[in-house]
Amino acid sequence: GNFTSQNVHIGLIRLIAVQSKWIGLMYQKLLFSSCLALFSSFAFAQSQTPKNQAVERIDIQQYAGKWYEIAHLPMFFQRNCVGDTTAEYQLNYDNTVNVVNRCRNKQNQIDQAEGIAYPQNEGKSKLKVSFLPKGLRWVPFTKGDYWILRVDPDYQVALVGGPSQKYLWILSRTPKLNEQIYNDYVETARQYGYDVEHLVKTSHKTP
């Protein structure tokens, strides 16, 4: 039972070992808790960020008809359009949709493009559109995505984009749209990740 320097030395080593193990366990718990908190915060932030996705479903019959383009992100195929841009949709018996796009060009004449849209989901809010001649519409990778991101309950205003977020249209049943409503739809597009700073407003000569 006599304490010797060797006993004291062994006791200190054991004490240090126990403390080191305890500190190690506490560090692991702290690290795990920190990682968990960080992941939870990230997951919460992700859940709070709206995704760029189409609405679940639309009534294609109500969506059909004439729309006026209020604003758009610049696109190559619209490079000659200077105003009076419209789109008309008509539902076919086979659930495809006839598309007729018109705009006033730089020569002050009306350009027209006819195509067909193919619903890609049960809710018909995601479509693929082809403007190729009928005999060439089977060619792969020639159809553009048309996602209806938002539409009001009365089908008077719509926000249209796609998975790439490279193109965007704000459409209205009338040539002019209330500025507050316009800004609200722009904000939705901004939250979805679209570059709304480059939106171009469309002029309409029609009343």
Model confidence at 76, pLDDT cuts 50, 70, 90, reads: confident
**pTM attached to this predicted model:** 0.73
Question: What is each CA distance from 74 to 33, 54, 71, in whole angstroms?
Answer: 47, 21, 9
Judged by DSSP in three states, 100 sits in strand
CB-neighbour burial class of residue 169 (10 A; exposed 0-12, middle 13-18, buried 19+): buried
Lowest pLDDT segment from 15-19, 38-42, 149-153: 38-42
Judged by DSSP in three states, 165 sits in coil
Query: Which residues does 203 contact at the CB level (< 8 Å), separation at least 6?
Result: 82, 83, 84
* Number of CB atoms found within 10 A of residue 143's CB: 19
